[in-house]
A and B are shown apart, each in its own frame.
Chain A
Amino acid sequence: MNRLGGPLLELTEATPAFDESSLPPVPFTLRVMAGECVVIECRDMSRATMFADLCSGMVHLNHGTARFMGMNWTELDDRHRNALRGRIGRITRRPIWTDLFGTHVSIMIKQLHHTTVSIEDLTTETLHLSEQFGLPGIPTETPRRLSDADIVRSACVRAFLGQPQMMLIEDPLETSPVDLSQPFFECLTAARDRGAAVVWFVRDSSVWQPYRKAVSALWRLADDGLLTVRRR
């Protein structure tokens, strides 16, 4: 990552196709440097999900460009796009869990697919994160049999696993039945210290207030695009 002098995420007049994304067809411009944390307030979290998709190169653009790690999503072939998405950690409101695998496989599947890290090392890191988020170990049941709290914990473990270059986080704290703010902020800070960029979507401003001193910028995702919000 040190070879990158520019922003990790860069949207330049990126205008999404409305019928594909339901995002407003307005140009979005955003730059997030390594180690920065950007909070984006958004009333409609499904819109936040689509914006995160836009940042991941999953939304067709009518105009403009979306770049991650200096690479334009539209200029990459499928294999490179997928490899690059493997460097992004996401916490999303969209359903991610399936009963095809046990929760442990679902948590580690991205690393198992994109990397050649040994199972032992992966298990050690997963166990460490699981314990950090309050799980007694790595959950092996199918996700359907886990409690809501453990599902949120597992989603956090899944997102932070593998030291991703960028985090696209649709706030897990607001809907969590247990207080995960402490381990969440710790992992967030650790990721930023490693040089990861963080885009954190929140619905309620009270959620990120405890972390406000470390937030780099605040935006609001509205019908007319991304708006700057002055912090108080």
Chain B
Amino acid sequence: MTGSSTGQNGSGDDGNPNPPTSGVLPAGPSADVHGQGAPPETFHRDDDGRPQNLTISDRFVHFLGTLGAMVRKRVWFLLIMLGTSWGVLRESLRSNTWRRTVRYEFQQTLATVAGRGLLSTVVMGALTGVGVVSQAIYWLGFAGMAKMTGSVLVTVIVRELAPILVGILMLGRSGMLSLAEVGMMTTGGQVRSMQAEGLDPFLLLVVPRTLAFTVAGFTLGIMFSLSSLTTGYVISRASGALSNSLLSFYYDVVTAMTSADYLLIPLKFIVVGFLVGLGCCIGGLTASNEDSIATMLPRGFTRGMLIVMTVSVLFSLKL
């Protein structure tokens, strides 16, 4: 074993130049222009050394830099989401990704999100069935538009309401838990320890959890739809608003669906689950040392709600 270490620290003596006084600074328009629109600290750190007599093209580049820095600062989470979405999809297709630990984490998360969230989803679906489906059936019948029952229920419940409510349920029940777990591991240093042992947190935490949320989103969305429609039928039948059988009722609903619905409704459940899971994991993984539960959870919940609503709106535009 050999070893040595030199003690040079690289700090040169600058000669302690005199600090400039206000009288030394150039006055006039160029000084004013140089101070205007100063870019944030993250862009062009060496601006101090730049000449003050900027050309128009320099100023334009400076302006673009400032604008870009501002935009990046505002949309950094969106950019991260886009990047990591691609990363999760790409990693999930590689066989080398699905190691024992990743499979274990996938199973654990799926059991938590889908397994433990199933009862809550069914109950929420039943309440929706009582509150919305039965009312819709009643009032459509009252207005003489009973033939539209199927299409209204597909549009309102299955296509619009189910993804939003299931997304919120997953966000509140499991997403916040995931955010808190990963966030506390990040701020506590456990993520760094994992990296030191070659355990990539993206591979070990983000990929399996996001995919588990994706599967759970589809499962819970379908269960919610079935629960709400069935409960609505039962209430309507009991109140006399409906007289046909359950199968006939479901036949009306199914025939009201277009071919695009068969693709886009499951896709909506899947995308909501995917983005809720990814947003929560990334929210935790990008927590800084200044963050705590008190700052992470409200921020994560707000982002999650935005994700759910944005997906819903975007898919509604498509539909």
A225-B190 CB under 8 A given contacts A25-B10, A110-B199: no
Instruction: List, in ascending order, chain A residues with CB within 8 A of B200's CB.
Output: 78, 82
Complex Cα distance, B192 from A83, in Å, reads 16
Interface string of A47-75 (1 = CB under 8 A from B): 00000110010100000000000000000
A contacts, CB < 8 Å to B? 7, 24-33, 36, 38, 52-53, 56, 58, 78-79, 81-86, 88, 90, 92, 94-98, 100, 105, 109-110, 112-114, 216-217, 219, 224-228
B contacts, CB < 8 Å to A? 1-10, 96, 99-102, 104, 181, 185, 188-190, 192-193, 195-200, 204
Whether B189 contacts A94 by the Cβ 8 Å rule is yes
Complex Cα distance, B99 from A211, in Å, reads 39
A28-B197 CB under 8 A given contacts A98-B190, A112-B99: no
Whether A85 contacts B196 by the Cβ 8 Å rule is yes
Whether B1 contacts A29 by the Cβ 8 Å rule is no
Whether B198 contacts A110 by the Cβ 8 Å rule is yes
Instruction: List, in ascending order, chain A residues with CB within 8 A of B6's CB.
Output: 26-27, 29, 225
A216-B1 CB under 8 A given contacts A26-B9, A98-B190, A112-B99: yes
Mind listing 14 A-B residue pairs with CB under 8 Å? Answer: A26-B8, A27-B8, A30-B3, A31-B2, A53-B196, A90-B196, A90-B197, A109-B197, A113-B99, A216-B1, A224-B7, A224-B9, A225-B7, A228-B3
Whether A113 contacts B7 by the Cβ 8 Å rule is no
Instruction: List, in ascending order, chain B residues with CB within 8 A of A109's CB.
Output: 101, 197, 199
Distance of A217 from chain B, by nearest CB (Å): 5
Residue of A nearest to B198 (CB): A85
Instruction: List 6 tightest A-B contacts by C-beta distance, closest first.
Output: A85-B198, A225-B5, A226-B5, A224-B7, A82-B198, A86-B198
Whether A96 contacts B3 by the Cβ 8 Å rule is no
Q: Interface of chain A, helix or strand or loop or mixed?
A: mixed
Whether B101 contacts A58 by the Cβ 8 Å rule is no
Residue of A nearest to B191 (CB): A98
A113-B199 CB under 8 A given contacts A94-B189, A94-B192, A95-B190: yes
From B3, B102, B195, A226 is in contact (CB under 8 Å) with B3
A58-B1 CB under 8 A given contacts A78-B200, A112-B99: no
Whether B5 contacts A84 by the Cβ 8 Å rule is no
Given contacts A29-B6, A36-B1, A96-B190, 10 further A-B contacts (CB under 8 A): A24-B9, A26-B7, A29-B5, A31-B3, A88-B196, A95-B188, A105-B104, A112-B104, A113-B198, A228-B4
Whether B198 contacts A114 by the Cβ 8 Å rule is yes
Complex Cα distance, B265 from A123, in Å, reads 46
Residue of B nearest to A11 (CB): B3
Whether A113 contacts B100 by the Cβ 8 Å rule is yes
Whether A217 contacts B100 by the Cβ 8 Å rule is no
Instruction: List, in ascending order, chain A residues with CB within 8 A of B96's CB.
Output: 79
Distance of A34 from chain B, by nearest CB (Å): 10
Whether B10 contacts A92 by the Cβ 8 Å rule is no
A26-B5 CB under 8 A given contacts A94-B192, A96-B190, A112-B99: yes
Interface centre among B1, B8, B99, B104 (most CB of A within 10 A): B1
Instruction: List, in ascending order, chain B residues with CB within 8 A of A225's CB.
Output: 5-7
Instruction: List, in ascending order, chain B residues with CB within 8 A of A96's CB.
Output: 190, 193
Complex Cα distance, B197 from A53, in Å, reads 10
